[in-house]
Structures are given as structure tokens and as C-alpha cells.
């Protein structure tokens, strides 16, 4: 009995400890989110257009070099890009969904519409304290 109780207590404590280590997620108010999205809109638009045009310099222009160092292989990216052009078609539009603070990151979440896929979610990560708004991460979800 005591072993089962001790094991249960350890599991609960481990779960609470892990939950405490997870980054805090806080949604900005719609007004705050729209204001931040307006600050980064040109950066995000440039990245999306660079991606669909397979223009590596344009795509990576606003990437944080420290965050992306050694992560991007231009030739591999070009191959992926050409496949994506065929699969998704032309980029048509993006609509802001919302903005969140996740730990030390600010994440701007969009719904993106492509010619062949009208339901793509894009998460663009920025460091909250970075006044230059350099991109530190991307996450595309195709529904």
C-alpha cells in the first residue's frame, strides 16, 4: 500500500514539475495581436512570397542568423520549393488568426490560402524582445 501511494505521489510530482517547465502560452488581445501583426506583416509577406517564388535570399531575408545557422541548405530548399510550387500553386492571401506569447517567443498565426490548398495554417515565431522582428521559427500545417 505504501509503495503504491509513494509511486502515485512521485508521478503527480513529476507531472507537476514537467507542466511547470512548459512554456506559458498567453493569447494577446485582438487589438494587441493586430498591432503586433501590423509590425511584422511586411516581413511575413516577404517570406511567404520568397518561398513561393523559390527565391532563397528573399525567403531568408528576415531570418535570425543565430537561430538558423547551419539549419538551411539552399539546394535542398530549392528542390523542396519546386515541389511545393506544384503541390500548392500560387499564393493568394493570408489572414491573421491570432498572436500568442509562448515563453520567450511571440507567435503570429495566420490562415494562408494557396491556389491548390485553401486551408494552410502558418505559425511564425519571433523573439519577444527582438526589436528587429527576425524570424526564429516557422511551422506550416496543411489541413
Neighbours of 114 (CB within 10 A): 20
For 95, phi and psi rounded to 5 degrees? Answer: -130, 130
Which CATH number describes the domain made up of 25-142? 3.10.450.590
For residues 39 and 62, the answer to whether their CB atoms sit within 8 Å is: no
In the chain, what are the domain boundaries? 25-142
Whether the per-residue pLDDT at 4 is higher than 70: the answer is: no
Angle at 28 between CA 109 and CA 130, to 5 degrees: 75
pLDDT, averaged across the chain: 87
**DSSP-H helix ranges across the chain:** 2-21, 30-52, 56-60, 65-68, 74-88
pLDDT score, position 19: 44
Q: 133: helix, coil or strand?
A: coil
Cβ burial, residue 141 (10 Å; 0-12/13-18/19+): exposed
pLDDT tens-place string over residues 8-62? 444 544 554 444 555 688 999 999 999 999 999 999 999 999 999 999 999 999 9
What is residue 5's predicted lDDT score, i.e. its pLDDT? 45
Report the distance separating Cα 49 and Cα 43, nearest Å. 10
pLDDT of residue 70: 81
Q: Which of 52, 62, 65 is nearest to 93 (CA)?
A: 52
CA 109 – CA 66 distance, rounded (Å): 23
What is the reported pTM?
Answer: 0.81
CB-CB neighbours of 121 under 10 Å:
14
Amino acid at each position: 500500500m505504501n509503495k503504491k501511494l509513494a509511486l502515485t505521489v512521485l508521478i503527480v510530482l513529476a507531472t507537476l514539475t514537467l507542466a511547470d517547465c512548459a512554456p506559458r502560452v498567453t493569447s494577446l488581445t485582438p487589438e494587441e495581436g493586430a498591432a503586433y501583426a501590423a509590425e511584422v506583416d511586411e516581413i511575413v509577406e516577404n517570406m511567404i512570397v520568397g518561398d513561393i517564388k523559390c527565391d532563397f535570399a528573399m525567403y531568408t531575408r528576415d531570418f535570425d542568423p543565430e537561430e538558423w545557422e547551419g539549419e538551411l541548405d539552399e539546394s535542398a530548399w530549392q528542390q523542396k520549393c519546386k515541389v511545393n510550387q506544384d503541390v500548392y500553386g500560387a499564393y493568394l492571401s493570408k489572414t491573421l488568426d491570432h498572436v500568442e506569447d509562448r515563453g520567450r517567443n511571440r507567435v503570429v498565426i495566420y490562415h494562408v490560402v494557396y491556389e491548390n490548398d485553401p486551408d494552410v495554417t502558418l505559425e511564425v515565431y519571433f523573439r519577444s524582445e527582438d526589436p528587429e522582428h527576425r524570424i526564429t521559427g516557422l511551422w506550416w500545417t496543411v489541413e
